[in-house]
């Protein structure tokens, strides 16, 4: 079934045929590009279906068909309507030598230009800085597992005011400069009337602190501030389709061209009023880019979709007058009719909610030309690519259950260890079972109904790629 | 049309969450509790409705009169009223008088070992439970173990 990854052309062929058959108006009621087209398709469909009767002349029935077609067209619009503003944009920034307190000459950025990627316009942007600590060694995942954990200790949300700060906040750089000033002032001769910053350093430090105050919210302890976060790093192996490499090389070429342009501007010697990152130029060429085929969906993509489904599935649900599955014994009507709060709030899901993630491909992987897939490999032409996956999860002080159980070793707490094992296994089974049931039910509902918007089929119901929705109409469309 | 995520204990993480609303209001058990532990007596149901819905005929139990009588008698005898001190009693929350939707850690005694284990393990790890969060066990929605490079390379033994 994974061959769906390379049946893109087959689907296109079926679509080509379907859009030219005599019943094409049915499809057009679902995927019309304009409202007038949807209306016309609805009228045509009704006339075809009620041929030989006078039903098509009914204004009420006709209006219902038109409304449904318009709703479908409007629902599809966000999926397929992408403007040039939504395309990824490269940003070239200056890098100052003093912008880091890291003394390592290997990792320390050299003066010059660096490239970054801007966030999509109009996307939710609530960036925050997290001060993190590592868990004690006893409860860290073993090195051989390829996992790492960080605990967020304090968080500070960015609230950029000016346009420059929205693209290049420069807050971290100023924190690094402040740390550098403090390190330098620590070696100054101390005395009754000496110490602290020198006058020029004090002036600079005041400027940095003022900027940080202006461009950020107040830093708060993570848990107390309502932003419980832990960061889990996993060395993973993702299946990457051959087409993704082509798209990546195109992006790399665009980035290299931008870097060459910026290098010609002598970024390292550029005279500027700011000592931190400054935007030198941008590049966004959506017309030249390729849309990668992100199928077959990876295990992580499936998991991320389950994450989104499970995260929302209990919202606004209440157990009205049903405090338990089967009520036994004596109770009063007052107890039974007591207003029940929403289930989601009182009974949180045992889901380690992923609120953000990052993927980093090692440099040596991206350096080779092409996907490196041998010619004899048949379709689908995919290859496992080692990546560093970082998960931002909404847990305060995350410790893997196996390490929690291990922490109780030697304490003579065999019953407690067993309790953690049983409950942990139960919660894993719950998420596994509930998640697949929810996603499978949606897939079944979409397939069984001819008027639903679905996504292209995969080998299993929740293997829909979270990255590239490919909408089409189920039922009357070829699946 | 179904593939299990095949999650295991290796995909489960302990940690604290916040913004949990109060359960069992207007009872002595009023407070914020971690995620329920399902007893597995009912299936998931279509769209997971058995976990999040009520009296619509799905996910409900039907007991024989004899079994219901026996359970009700046990409940009245052991769980409906709880002794507080020598002369006082307190009524159990109505959600605990029968077969619950799920066991609440900190309320149902069957999970006392689990609650104690979480607190003890975090204490040993040098981290007390924060007053702003509730501890619990939470599962990732995908398997980090099977995604890890070491785990899926054939013939390579796992370390744990």
pTM of the model as a whole: 0.78
Look at A69-83, A198-212, A244-258, A299-313 and tell me which has the smallest mean pLDDT: A69-83
Q: Which range among A214-218, A430-434, B48-52 shows the weakest confidence by mean pLDDT?
A: B48-52
* pLDDT range class, residue A233, cuts 50, 70, 90: very high
Q: Which residues of A touch B67 (CB under 8 A)?
A: none
Condensed to tens digits (0 to 9), the pLDDT of residues A350-392 reads 999 999 999 888 877 765 555 567 767 666 677 778 889 999 9
pLDDT at A456 over 50: no
Stretch 42-81 of chain B: residues touching chain A, C-beta under 8 Å: 42, 44-48, 51-55, 59-61, 63, 68, 71-72, 75-76, 80
A332: closest chain B residue by CA? B94
pLDDT exceeds cutoff 90 at A23: no
Q: B42-88: per-residue pLDDT in tens?
A: 777 777 777 777 555 555 567 788 988 888 888 888 878 888 888 98
> What per-residue confidence (pLDDT) applies to B62?
73
The phi-psi region of residue A146 (left if phi > 0; otherwise alpha if psi is between -120 and 50; otherwise beta) is: left
Terminal alpha carbon distance of chain A: 13
pLDDT value at A420 more than 70? yes
Which residues are within 8 A (CB) of B82 and not within 5 positions of it... i.e. 6 or more apart?
Answer: B89, B90, B91, B92
Determine the pLDDT at residue A370.
Answer: 56
Question: What is the pLDDT, as a whole number, of residue A443?
Answer: 58
Q: Which of A81-85, A458-462, B58-62 has the highest mean pLDDT?
A: A81-85
Q: Do A400 and B13 touch (CB under 8 A)?
A: yes
Residues of chain B with pLDDT under 50: 1-2, 150-160
Angle (nearest 5°) at CA A146 between A140 and A151? 40
pLDDT tens per residue, range A134-165 = 999 989 998 888 899 999 999 999 888 877 77
Residue A104 has what pLDDT?
52
Is pLDDT of A403 > 90? yes
Contacts of B78 in chain A (CB under 8 A): none
* ipTM of the complex as predicted: 0.88
Which residue of A238, A385, A426 to mutate against B (max B Cβ within 10 Å)?
Answer: A426
Q: Which of A313, A350, A396 sits opposite B133 (nearest CB)?
A: A396
Interface test with A, best of B29, B31, B142, B148 (most A CBs within 10 A): B142
Residue of B4, B6, B12, B42 for testing the chain A interface, max A β-carbons within 10 Å: B12
- Using a CB-CB distance cutoff of 8 angstroms, which residues of chain A are in contact with residue B20? 345-346, 348
pLDDT score of A195 more than 70? no
- Three-state DSSP class for residue B90: strand
CB contact under 8 A, B18 and A313: no
Tell me whether B90 touches chain A (CB under 8 Å): no
Share of chain A above pLDDT 90, in %: 19
Most confident segment among A84-93, A96-105, A176-185, A419-428? A419-428
A179 has a pLDDT exceeding 60: yes
Find the mean pLDDT for residues A69-87.
76
**Band of residue A42 on the pLDDT scale cut at 50, 70, 90:** confident
Q: Sorting pLDDT into bands at 50, 70 and 90, what band is A395?
A: very high
Q: Look up residue A221 and give its two tokens.
A: 């302890």
Q: Confirm or reject contact between B116 and chain A (CB < 8 A).
A: yes
**Given a cut of 80, is residue A270 above it in pLDDT?**
no
Comparing A75-84, A436-445, B147-156, the range with the smallest average pLDDT is B147-156
Average pLDDT over residues A165-192: 79
pLDDT value for A458:
40
pLDDT of residue A220: 92
pLDDT band at A307 (very low <50, low <70, confident <90, very high): very high
Residue A338 has pLDDT above 80, yes or no: no
Predicted confidence at residue A17, as pLDDT, reads 77
| pLDDT score of A190 more than 70 | no
Q: What integer pLDDT is reported at residue A367 of this predicted model?
A: 59
* Mutation choice for A interface testing from B52, B67, B75, B153 by most A CBs within 10 A: B52
The whole-number pLDDT of residue A463 equals: 32
> Would you call B141 and A354 a contact, using CB atoms and an 8 Å cutoff?
yes
A119-128, A163-172, A344-353: which has the minimum mean pLDDT?
Answer: A119-128
Instruction: Choose the closest CB to A413 out of B93, B120, B142.
Output: B120
- Tell me the chain B residues in contact with residue A440 when contact means C-beta distances shorter than 8 Å: 1-2
Predicted confidence at residue A398, as pLDDT, reads 95
* Range scoring the smallest mean pLDDT among A120-124, A263-267, A410-414: A120-124
* Nearest-by-CA chain A residue for B44: A434
> Taking CB atoms and an 8 Å cutoff, what residues of chain B touch A142?
159-160
Residues of A in contact with B10 (CB under 8 A): 400-402
Average per-residue pLDDT for chain A: 77
How far is CA A429 from each of CA B5, B28, B127, rounded to the nearest angstrom? 9, 32, 28
Residue written as token pair 């080779």: A368
Distance from CA of B89 to the nearest CA of A (A): 16
């Amino acid at each position: 079934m994974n061959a769906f990854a390379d049946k893109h052309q087959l689907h296109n062929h079926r679509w080509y045929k379907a859009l030219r058959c005599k019943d094409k108006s049915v499809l057009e009621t679902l995927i019309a590009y304009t409202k007038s087209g949807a209306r016309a398709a609805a009228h045509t469909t009704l006339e075809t279906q009620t041929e030989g009767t006078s039903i098509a002349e009914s204004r009420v029935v006709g209006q219902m068909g038109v409304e449904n077609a318009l709703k479908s067209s409007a629902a599809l619009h966000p999926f397929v309507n992408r403007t040039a503003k939504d395309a990824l944009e490269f940003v070239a920034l200056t890098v100052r030598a003093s912008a880091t307190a890291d003394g390592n000459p290997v990792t320390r950025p050299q003066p010059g230009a660096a490239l970054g990627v801007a966030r999509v316009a109009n996307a939710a942007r609530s960036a925050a800085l997290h001060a993190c600590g590592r868990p004690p060694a006893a409860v860290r995942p073993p090195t051989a597992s390829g996992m790492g954990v960080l605990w967020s200790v304090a968080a500070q949300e960015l609230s950029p005011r000016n346009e420059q700060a929205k693209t290049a906040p420069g807050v971290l750089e100023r924190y690094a400069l402040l740390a550098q000033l403090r390190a330098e002032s620590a070696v100054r001769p101390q005395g009754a009337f000496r110490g602290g910053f020198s006058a020029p350093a004090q002036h600079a430090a005041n400027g940095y602190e003022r900027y940080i105050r202006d461009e950020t919210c107040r830093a708060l302890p993570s848990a107390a501030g309502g932003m419980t976060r832990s960061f889990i790093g996993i060395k993973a192996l993702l299946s990457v389709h051959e087409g993704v490499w082509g798209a990546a090389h195109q992006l790399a070429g665009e980035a290299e061209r931008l870097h060459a342009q910026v290098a010609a501007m002598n970024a390292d010697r550029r005279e500027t009023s700011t000592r931190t990152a400054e935007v030198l130029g941008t590049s966004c060429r959506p017309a030249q880019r390729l849309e990668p085929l992100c199928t077959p969906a990876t295990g992580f993509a499936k998991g991320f979709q389950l994450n989104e489904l499970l995260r929302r599935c209990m919202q606004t649900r209440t157990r009205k007058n049903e405090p338990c599955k089967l009520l036994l014994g004596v109770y009063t009507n007052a107890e039974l009719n007591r207003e029940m709060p929403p289930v989601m709030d009182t009974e949180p899901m045992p889901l380690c909610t992923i609120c953000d993630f990052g993927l980093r491909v090692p440099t040596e992987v991206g350096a080779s030309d092409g996907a490196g897939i041998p010619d004899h490999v048949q379709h689908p032409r995919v290859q496992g690519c080692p990546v560093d996956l970082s998960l931002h999860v909404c847990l305060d002080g995350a410790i893997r259950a196996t390490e929690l159980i291990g922490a109780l070793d030697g304490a003579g707490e065999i019953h407690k260890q067993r309790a953690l094992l049983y409950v942990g296994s139960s919660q894993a089974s719950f998420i596994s079972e509930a998640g697949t049931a929810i996603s499978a039910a949606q897939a079944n509902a979409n397939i069984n109904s001819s008027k639903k918007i679905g996504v292209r089929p995969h080998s299993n119901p929740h293997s829909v790629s979270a990255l590239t929705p490919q909408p089409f109409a189920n039922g009357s469309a070829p699946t | 049309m179904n593939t299990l995520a095949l999650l295991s204990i290796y995909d489960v993480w302990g940690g604290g969450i916040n913004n949990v609303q109060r359960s069992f209001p207007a009872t002595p058990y009023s407070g914020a509790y971690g995620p329920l532990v399902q007893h597995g007596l009912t299936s998931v149901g279509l769209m997971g409705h058995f976990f999040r819905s009520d009296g619509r005929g799905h996910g409900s139990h039907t007991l024989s009169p004899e079994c219901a009588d026996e359970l009700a008698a046990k409940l009245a005898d052991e769980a409906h009223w709880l002794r507080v001190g020598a002369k006082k009693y307190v009524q159990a929350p109505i959600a605990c008088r029968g077969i619950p939707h799920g066991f609440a850690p900190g309320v149902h005694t069957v999970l006392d070992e689990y609650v104690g284990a979480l607190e003890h393990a975090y204490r040993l790890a040098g981290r007390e439970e924060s007053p702003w969060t509730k501890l619990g066990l939470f599962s990732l929605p995908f398997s980090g173990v099977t995604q890890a490079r070491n785990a899926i390379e054939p013939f390579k033994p796992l370390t744990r």
